[in-house]
Amino acid sequence: MLWLASDARPSLLGSAALIAFLHPLATAALAELPDPPCSATSNRTHTFVNLGSLIRRKGVDQDYTTRHDNVSFSLNICAPALSADDLHFPSSQDAQNVSAYYRRGDKAYSLGRTSSKPKFVGKKLVLDYAGGSLCPKLDSDGLPIEGEDNEAGYRRGLTLSFVCDRDLISPPTISFISQKYNCSYWFEIRTASACATVKAQSLGPVAIFSIMNGAYAADGYSRVRDLPGVLVTTYGVGELSAMNGVAGAYAEHAGFIHIVGNTARALQENKIMIHHTLEANPDHGVYRGMSEPIRAASAFLNDEATMASEIDRVLITAVKTRLPVYLFIPTDVVDTPLNATRLEQPLDLNLSSKPDVEELIVKKILDAIEKAEKPCILGDVLAKRHAVTSETRRLIQLAGYPAFSTILGKGVVDETSPEFGGLYNGSRFDADVHSPPFHIILVSFPGIKDAVESHADLVLNIGLHLTSSNTGAFTRQIADNKLLALHPHYCSIFGERYEGIHFVPVLQKLVAEFEKNKDKYRKRNTVTRFEIPTIDKSTSGPLRQSYIWQRIGRFTKADDIVFVEVGTAQFGMPDASLASNVQYETQIYWSSIGYTVGGTLGALVAAREKGNKGRVILVVGDGSLQMTVQEISTYIRNGFTPTIFLINNDGYTIEREIHGPEQQYNDICTSWDHMKMLEFFGGRQKGFQSRSVQARTIEELEAIMTDSEFIKSDRIQVCEIFVPRLDVPWVLRNQVDAHKARVKAAAEVQKKTWEGMVLAGAFT
Ligand SMILES: *[C@@H]1O[C@H](CO)[C@@H](O)[C@H](O)[C@H]1NC(C)=O
Ligand SMILES: *[C@@H]1O[C@H](CO)[C@@H](O)[C@H](O)[C@H]1NC(C)=O
Ligand SMILES: *[C@@H]1O[C@H](CO)[C@@H](O)[C@H](O)[C@H]1NC(C)=O
Ligand SMILES: *[C@@H]1O[C@H](CO)[C@@H](O)[C@H](O)[C@H]1NC(C)=O
Ligand SMILES: *[C@@H]1O[C@H](CO)[C@@H](O)[C@H](O)[C@H]1NC(C)=O
Ligand SMILES: *[C@@H]1O[C@H](CO)[C@@H](O)[C@H](O)[C@H]1NC(C)=O
Ligand SMILES: *[C@@H]1O[C@H](CO)[C@@H](O)[C@H](O)[C@H]1NC(C)=O
């Protein structure tokens, strides 16, 4: 086991890679690339060591040297000695590919030819050179006679044995161990390069640019792969930079495993003032406390006796809770051999805690459904995050009831299914007591609110997450006496709560009951299938937000994965109809601007691992892009070919709409040339191709969206879409108007109060 992250370069691994990484026995299961030269894998422990970095290069380096008994030895590792070319060897045969030699007088003696195949002998890693100069003849006492060759033709050889030494950041140290008959030699090399490391795999790691993007990417990976991704960072600088992304993954149940490389235990105990610590006598673990509120479990691996079970405990929590977890690993721990017996037992990921209570809940749900006349299903975001999208869709298919998604849950109900009823987002702000009720603020399409709140007599809400942005700012009004709520922490039947019951086993049992009794629970859909109205029917002219979101929706094809940035896109894209089985992801609740550029990287890795047939599409604004743009380079470096819709409206339009439309703090540098972006990051014609196109009008956008090459998305491509600076989706406009009206009314009330006070002589 070994670290990938150096100081400022965290790495993202696929979770399967992590499990192999923590559980050496599992490595065999992964597709592996062949070992590079100068590396070796132990058949017994699967330890992999790569000595490649020790090779000394011509014109750059000098040979390694060591002395013994007034003799100086020169050598290279896995390559010929650099200084051997002009030497005079006893025979020309000796002079071929000499990897190690010593000199005596004007003669040089070869200690063997180059080999680049180190091997494990038991636990020891050795590299043998053989076929050097002839060994000397021995006298009657068995001592070598200098200058006389043996007649049997024995040749000199050298064995290098390697010892892992993590404390050495300095060059490797070479010591002479022994020699026999001036013929066979043994040297030992102590170096950090001889420590076990992770073999290159077809799956992860993906080294990234910015650490926060690494957290976003691990989050995006978890969403798409339905398994936690892995982020590896260093203590202090790395783990702190990642924290915003970790907190977002916590808020949105898109958790991952964060491995933090810590200083060696001895350095921690002695409070060494090493880099990334704070002051004299530093506590190296001070940062561990900082992530406590944003993780579901953690382990500091400092005790050999419990390490294996601690790793398992943390991994189990990650998978079960879908929240972030931390493993803190001191550098001196990574070579610790652990008892591998535990690996024979799969991790216990069973979410069922009280089967009898779960069955009772299922029975109550089935009874309620039998009695109901117009039940509906409300698919919600935690169904996606807890990896039960397919169970939810199967239930909808078997039930035949109208099915709605929430805003965050968009996509959990297949939008092409006959049951799809639209997106439910509450309906209006309740007039608060200090301001008159101005107007009803529509945030769901007309009809959907009534279908859910009034028409339906039972709402089965699967995976609910009652955040402001998912409930129309808490305007959702589903009466308790018709709500069946399924959540990771509880299930609730008409207001009766069963705490600590996870909804996933309940849902699975429910689906099984529906499968068994196909006719019993099926009901005729009493709501006609919802067709999202076309908001902007224009066919020509300049582009506006009212046109673009639904157009991007029509661009989606079955199995696409779409990441939609916070900002105006998150208000506009819900109006888009998605093709079948499209995975739609956005980070509306946490709302960290720029999230999707990193998140999409994780989605790309996950999609490649899963062999997903659809495309990966990123919808991002020019302002958001400037926060995290460098990760585009990582897409290119890894050969990914996402389609990027880049909405250019000269800055943070969402913020302009909310406050300060002309304020400088909502501006960005608008001189970026997005048509050169992919080229700059490496997507050039030669090697890795890219495509960059622009649209200012409907006609231009249509030409792009119907171009078969663009649709294919077989290379990375960006489509820059220009819309006016202050143009926003209708939902946002409605909401902000209402907010402004409210503020104005409140100000009126305030003014009247003040006037009243002035009139009453309060200030005289
Ligand atoms: C290790 O395993 C490989 C592949 O199974 C085999 O070719 C090789 O001989 C083995 N090496 C040792 C030292 O057992
Ligand atoms: C060691 O080698 C040097 C130069 O080759 C020589 O001058 C010196 O006498 C040698 N010392 C011994 C102890 O053999
Ligand atoms: C010397 O090494 C090179 C590769 O480094 C190899 O191609 C060549 O065959 C070797 N020659 C002999 C004589 O071993
Ligand atoms: C040769 O062997 C003698 C006796 O073991 C030893 O003292 C001497 O250092 C050896 N020389 C070399 C070059 O290994
Ligand atoms: C490893 O753990 C198993 C189960 O706890 C135990 O039976 C076995 O003796 C352990 N092996 C070693 C080498 O400690
Ligand atoms: C999960 O755990 C419950 C008890 O907590 C048990 O009844 C059930 O059989 C387990 N399921 C599986 C698949 O192991
Ligand atoms: C959902 O309602 C909330 C509160 O009104 C609003 O902020 C959000 O924009 C709405 N979302 C959509 C996509 O309609």
Query: Tokens 């900002």 label which residue?
Result: 567
Q: How far is the CA of 128 from the centre of ligand 3 (A)?
A: 16
Whether the pTM exceeds 0.85: the reply is no
Phi, psi angle pair for 420, to nearest 5°: -65, 125
pLDDT tens digits for range 428-455: 543 333 343 334 444 566 678 888 888 8
402 touches 527 (CB < 8 A): yes
- Can you tell me the distance from the alpha carbon of 54 to that of 197, in angstroms, rounded to the nearest whole number? 14
> Residue 138: nearest ligand to its CA?
4
Chain centre distance of CA 323: 13
Task: Burial-class residue 739 by CB neighbours within 10 Å (0-12, 13-18, 19+).
Answer: middle
CB-ligand 7 contact for 729 (6 Å cutoff): no
- Can you tell me the distance from the alpha carbon of 209 to that of 212, in angstroms, rounded to the nearest whole number? 9
Q: How far is the CA of 294 from the centre of ligand 6 (A)?
A: 29
Take atom 10 of ligand 5 and give the residue whose Cα is closest: 339
**What average pLDDT score do residues 64-68 get?**
94
CB-ligand 5 contact for 341 (6 Å cutoff): yes
State which ligand 6 atom lies nearest to the alpha carbon of 353: 5
Take atom 13 of ligand 6 and give the residue whose Cα is closest: 350
Which residues neighbour 338 within 8 Å (Cβ) at sequence distance 6 or greater?
A: 304, 307, 308
Residue 661: pLDDT band with limits 50, 70, 90: confident
- Can you tell me the distance from the alpha carbon of 138 to that of 140, in angstroms, rounded to the nearest whole number? 7
CB-ligand 7 contact for 735 (6 Å cutoff): yes
Type of residue at 71: V
- Can you tell me the distance from the alpha carbon of 25 to that of 667, in angstroms, rounded to the nearest whole number? 53
Compare 444 and 272 and report the one with higher pLDDT: 272
Is a pLDDT exceeding 60 seen at residue 80?
Answer: yes
Q: How far is the CA of 352 from the centre of ligand 6 (A)?
A: 6
**Token pair in block for residue 135:** 């060994």
Which residues neighbour 442 within 8 Å (Cβ) at sequence distance 6 or greater?
A: 427, 428, 731, 734
pLDDT tens digits for range 328-357: 999 988 878 787 788 788 899 999 999 999
- Can you tell me the distance from the alpha carbon of 387 to that of 536, in angstroms, rounded to the nearest whole number? 35
CB-ligand 7 contact for 407 (6 Å cutoff): yes
Residue 22: pLDDT band with limits 50, 70, 90: very low
SS3 581: coil
pLDDT at res. 758: 67
Q: How far is the CA of 322 from the centre of ligand 4 (A)?
A: 65
Round the average pLDDT of the chain to a whole number and report it.
87
194 touches 162 (CB < 8 A): yes
* Percent residues over pLDDT 90 in the chain: 63
CA distances from 322 to 251, 254, 501, 529 (A): 10, 6, 15, 33
**What average pLDDT score do residues 41-47 get?**
81
> Residue 28: nearest ligand to its CA?
1
622 touches 647 (CB < 8 A): yes
Take atom 2 of ligand 5 and give the residue whose Cα is closest: 341
Pick from 316, 345, 350 the residue to mutate for probing ligand 6's pocket: most ligand atoms within 8 Å of its CB. Answer: 350
- Can you tell me the distance from the alpha carbon of 480 to that of 462, in angstroms, rounded to the nearest whole number? 15
Type of residue at 179: Q
Beta strand extents in 477-598 (DSSP E only): 483-486, 490-493, 496-499, 561-564, 583-586
Q: How far is the CA of 472 from the centre of ligand 7 (A)?
A: 5
Query: Tokens 């209570």 label which residue?
Result: 357
Q: Which residues pair with 145 in a beta bridge?
A: 137
Pick from 306, 339, 343, 344 the residue to mutate for probing ligand 5's pocket: most ligand atoms within 8 Å of its CB. Answer: 339
**Token pair in block for residue 451:** 């279908």
CA distances from 751 to 434, 615, 693 (A): 13, 56, 53
pLDDT at res. 204: 58
CB-ligand 6 contact for 500 (6 Å cutoff): no
Q: How far is the CA of 503 from the centre of ligand 6 (A)?
A: 14
Compare 760 and 451 and report the one with higher pLDDT: 451
CB-ligand 4 contact for 316 (6 Å cutoff): no
Paired sense of beta strands 490-493 and 496-499, if any: antiparallel
CB-ligand 4 contact for 133 (6 Å cutoff): no
Take atom 13 of ligand 7 and give the residue whose Cα is closest: 571
Chain centre distance of CA 644: 19
Which residues neighbour 644 within 8 Å (Cβ) at sequence distance 6 or greater?
A: 617, 618, 620, 632, 716, 717, 718, 719
Compare 574 and 523 and report the one with higher pLDDT: 574
The closest of 597, 552, 569, 592 to 711, measured between CA atoms, is 552
- Can you tell me the distance from the alpha carbon of 137 to that of 153, in angstroms, rounded to the nearest whole number? 10
CB-ligand 4 contact for 184 (6 Å cutoff): no
pLDDT tens digits for range 166-177: 765 678 999 999
Q: How far is the CA of 46 from the centre of ligand 5 (A)?
A: 19
Query: Tokens 């009493």 label which residue?
Result: 526
Quick one: angle between helices 698-705 and 545-555, nearest 10? 10
CB-ligand 7 contact for 574 (6 Å cutoff): yes
- Provide the edge-to-edge strand list for the sheet that holds 375-379: 420-423, 403-405, 375-379, 458-462, 483-486, 490-493, 496-499
Q: How far is the CA of 39 from the centre of ligand 1 (A)?
A: 14
Pick from 70, 143, 156, 179 the residue to mutate for probing ligand 4's pocket: most ligand atoms within 8 Å of its CB. Answer: 179
584 touches 409 (CB < 8 A): no
CB-ligand 6 contact for 202 (6 Å cutoff): no
Which residues neighbour 515 within 8 Å (Cβ) at sequence distance 6 or greater?
A: 398
Is a pLDDT exceeding 80 seen at residue 102?
Answer: yes
> Residue 344: nearest ligand to its CA?
5
Phi, psi angle pair for 597, to nearest 5°: -65, -40
Q: How far is the CA of 41 from the centre of ligand 1 (A)?
A: 9
CB atoms within 10 A of CB 757: 11
State which ligand 7 atom lies nearest to the alpha carbon of 444: 14
**Token pair in block for residue 633:** 């380079």
**Token pair in block for residue 93:** 């045969």
* Percent residues over pLDDT 70 in the chain: 87
> Residue 76: nearest ligand to its CA?
3
Is a pLDDT exceeding 60 seen at residue 528?
Answer: yes
Take atom 13 of ligand 5 and give the residue whose Cα is closest: 339
SS3 536: coil
Q: How far is the CA of 357 from the centre of ligand 6 (A)?
A: 13
CB-ligand 7 contact for 233 (6 Å cutoff): no
CA distances from 158 to 87, 503, 530 (A): 19, 65, 79
**Token pair in block for residue 116:** 């680049």
Is a pLDDT exceeding 50 seen at residue 737?
Answer: yes
CB atoms within 10 A of CB 534: 13
CA distances from 230 to 318, 584, 635 (A): 10, 22, 18
